Amino acid sequence: MDRSTGFRGYLPVASAGYHKCVTEPSVPAENSLPIVADTRPPAVVETALPVAETAAPHGETALPVLCGRNRRELETWLVGLKEPAYRGRQIAAWIYQRGARAFAEMTDLPAALRARLRESAVLGRAEVEARQRAVDGTVKLLLRFVDGRAVETVLLPYEDRTSVCISSQVGCPVGCVFCATAMLGFARNLTAGEMVDQVLAARSHAPGERVSHVVVMGMGEPLLNYDPLVTALRLLHEEVGLSYRHLTVSTAGHVPGMRRLAHEGLPVTLAVSLHAPNDALRERLIPMARKWNLEVVMDAAEEYSVQTGRRVTLEYLVLGGVNDGQDQAKELAKLARGSFHHVNLIPWNPATTLEHFRSPRPERLKKFREALEERGVTVTQRVERGQEIDAACGQLALVAAHGEERLVRIA
């Protein structure tokens, strides 16, 4: 999912169970952008989830957070409590395999140990504050963390797989003008546990409660949160049980992070958000592109492919009348030649953004794809999902921050 802006505008804050929008002191209220009215029908109300054991409000606790620690770390911590090391393995299984939200659920632990755990640690699971479900099975969750910040995660069920799109930051500092997250500004990085927690939360809504793929394409630029990202990827593989080859990291083109990830020894898929075939247009759409031009980004993408043996996905968000012309298709084909990558076309999903855009006309999108294929480019096209809900990155968080009329809250 495409990255958001450094615009210091509206941010969600906690208030009596709901979250109103306020402006940060660094930006006068009159600089805030208007929110476009949304006339779509409300999402479906569903049942509440169990209340998770979390830390005190606003992080007022020194207790260790267990979600985000691997089994070896949990074993070491339990030994420090004078408990057998295997209890750490049991707790890891409860967190990552069974998705426990409270120590009381860990019924193979002695009652005395469960009571001690409640006094000694927190699981660190976020609250599912809102949920939207589309007719195609897409589910979008708004997760609220202990400090009051919120992120989105999306469950995407397909015939051959079940994927989860997770966020890596609260908001995003990158500046993509087509992304709804841009309206939220940037608040903070997520921890590894908070990233993994999104997968655990989404998994409970998946068919058979099974997830096969994870894409880090939600709110935020993952490579600006590098160390927690890599820890989360390792946890998803080692503890949750997902193949590295089923994990995808999306970047707006953070070149140092791309090069670093190439040498990390993790065979994950890298997706690079191009969205324009030339630097002039790309700099308008993605302000971070002013720092690293397309030549440098493509060099880093090739380095990643050579080092990992993995083909790089070139993401291309198709904006009607902006980047879907035949000349632009020819430019993109020149960039995308070669065996180390392929192009994934993504028709724009209507959303409230910093600039106004529209979806491409079907016939124009078809000709754009054909122009690429005629020039030998391998092309895929993302299936449009969840259009009747706030499926685009940042949309549900915007609804939470700016209005209550369309937000389904979990009682």
pLDDT (tens digit, 9 = 90+) per residue, 218-229? Answer: 999 999 999 999
In tens, the pLDDT along 357-407 reads 889 999 999 999 999 999 999 999 977 665 555 545 544 444 444 444 443
How buried is residue 178: exposed, middle or buried, by Cβ count under 10 Å (0-12/13-18/19+)? buried
DSSP 19-34: EEEEE-TTS-GGGSPP
Q: Quote the CA–CA distance of 33 and 10 in Å, as a whole number.
A: 9
Locate 181 and state its tokens: 């997250």
Model confidence at 131: pLDDT above 50: yes
CA-angle at 23, arms to 20 and 28, nearest 5°: 150
- 129's enclosing H/E stretch is strand 127-133
pTM of the predicted model as reported, rounded to 2 decimal places: 0.81
In tens, the pLDDT along 138-178 reads 999 999 999 999 999 999 999 899 999 999 999 999 989 98
Domains and CATH numbers, the chain: 10-25+126-402 (3.20.20.70), 57-120 (1.10.150.530)
> What is the residue whose two structure tokens read 């906690």?
14
Which residues contact residue 40 at a Cβ distance below 8 angstroms, ignoring those fewer than 6 apart?
388, 406
Contact indicator for 82, 112 with CB cutoff of 8 Å: no
Model confidence at 101: pLDDT above 90: yes
Q: Quote the CA–CA distance of 339 and 336 in Å, as a whole number.
A: 9
Interval 312-324 mean pLDDT? 96
- pLDDT at residue 340, rounded to an integer: 84
The single-letter code of the amino acid at 24 is: E
Contact indicator for 180, 353 with CB cutoff of 8 Å: yes
Tell how many helices (H) and how many strands (E) occur in the chain.
Answer: 11, 14
> What is the residue whose two structure tokens read 């700016």?
402
Three-class SS state of 239: coil
Q: Which residues are catalytic?
A: 152, 393
In tens, the pLDDT along 28-57 reads 333 322 323 333 344 333 333 334 454 443
